[in-house]
Amino acid sequence: IRTIGVMTSGGDAPGMNAAIRAVARACAYYNVKCIGFYRGYQGMIEGDYCEMNARSVRNIISQGGTILKSARSEEFRTKEGRKKAMDHLKKLGIDAMVLIGGDGTFRGGQIFSEEFDIPVIGVPGTIDNDISGTNYTIGYDTALNTVIDAIDKIRDTASSHDRLFFIEVMGRDAGFIALNSGVGAGAEEILIPEEDLGLDRLLESLKRSKRSGKSSSIVVVSEGDKIGKNVYELADYVTENLPDYDVRVTVLGHMQRGGSPSCFDRTLASRLCVKAVELLLDGEKNVMVGLIDNKVTATSFDEGLSSEHEINKELLRISDILST
Ligand code: F6P
């Protein structure tokens, strides 16, 4: 392998720059040429790239976002789009690709590598943590800390005004961010897609907390929650049924994807991407790297994507006990 391509795709995540840096530096260390594509698969289709060396990734380890930019490419879903991308890879002499992104990125990579027999390695980068081939995805830890920081601030004003806040967090169809930030920020209730607690239980719990003398409360709601109401409808429903509560809603939104990555995410990105380059040099292909039980692992895309992501429901029990 003489030339490795790298790109970031899907929703950006803090630590993607640390990942790009690690790919470029590992390539430099092993005397392999490195080419970065802009805007994920779309940049591969359009031939929008830059040559990278050890110095071109200086000072980016601490930066949020991704210097290679990110996108979700509709065109790459078509065979013609993928053919255009492969033509550019051939023209540039690229022998293998490192794909940094989430499940959509990996699915695209799997099809691409099977279609054109090009080795690819996936590196999990998404704040959602919803990929089963790893315990942690790059960006998740930073996002959790961002959420905790925001909830702590909301708690200050909730407490001053004796209010109940519904706080919506990201996570697409997974409740990792909600569950862990909910426990970490001491939420009254945590609503996640993996467990439908039901509206009655929510009302009961809020009534109970009022009776127990609490004057303000935080409910963390995952954006993918299946309770059947969005966060605003939920707030209205609670206001109608529990008029004693003064209810407000905060949707944290895309701020969760920004910011300087935590040390954990920088280290994770560094470990996974050095491994990705080394696997390619060892002739490995079509796997994702991950961290399982604190060991860097390689898992086939099929396995890494097929099984359902597993949420730690024990945390719901802990939350129940501690919100007494
Ligand atoms: O996958 C990351 C994520 O931030 C999800 O949590 C969220 O559902 C989605 O991306 C938002 O996507 P967009 O940036 O297209 O609004």
pLDDT tens digit sequence for 165-175: 999 999 999 99
d(CA 98, CA 100): 6
Cα–ligand 1 centroid distance for 51 (angstroms): 29
11 lines ligand 1 (CB under 6 A): yes
Cβ-proximal residues to 226 (8 Å cutoff; 6+ apart), any chain = 193, 196
d(CA 91, CA 82): 14
Question: Which residue has the least CA distance to atom 3 on ligand 1?
Answer: 11
Residues of the chain predicted below pLDDT 70: 307
Beta-carbon-side half-sphere exposure of residue 146 (alpha carbons within 13 Å): 24
pLDDT at residue 197, as a whole number: 84
- CA nearest 106: which of 310, 306, 301, 271? 301
The answer to whether residue 48 is catalytic is: no
| pLDDT tens track for 119-130 | 999 999 999 999
12 and 257 in contact (C-beta within 8 Å)?
yes
Q: Is 158 annotated as a binding residue?
A: no
pLDDT at residue 282, as a whole number: 98
pLDDT at residue 308, as a whole number: 74
d(CA 134, CA 13): 16
Strands 295-300 and 287-292 come out as: antiparallel
- For the entire predicted model, the pTM comes to 0.97
- Three-state DSSP state, 261: coil
Point out the ligand 1 atom lying closest to the alpha carbon of residue 13.
2
137 lines ligand 1 (CB under 6 A): no
Radius of gyration of the CA atoms of the chain, in A = 22
| pLDDT tens track for 218-246 | 999 999 998 889 999 999 999 999 999 99
Q: Is 110 annotated as a binding residue?
A: no
**Active-site option among 12, 128, 130, 265:** 128
Summary mean pLDDT of the chain = 96
Q: Is the ipTM of this complex over 0.90?
A: yes
Question: Which residue has the least CA distance to atom 1 on ligand 1?
Answer: 11
36 lines ligand 1 (CB under 6 A): no
pLDDT at residue 305, as a whole number: 85
170 lines ligand 1 (CB under 6 A): yes
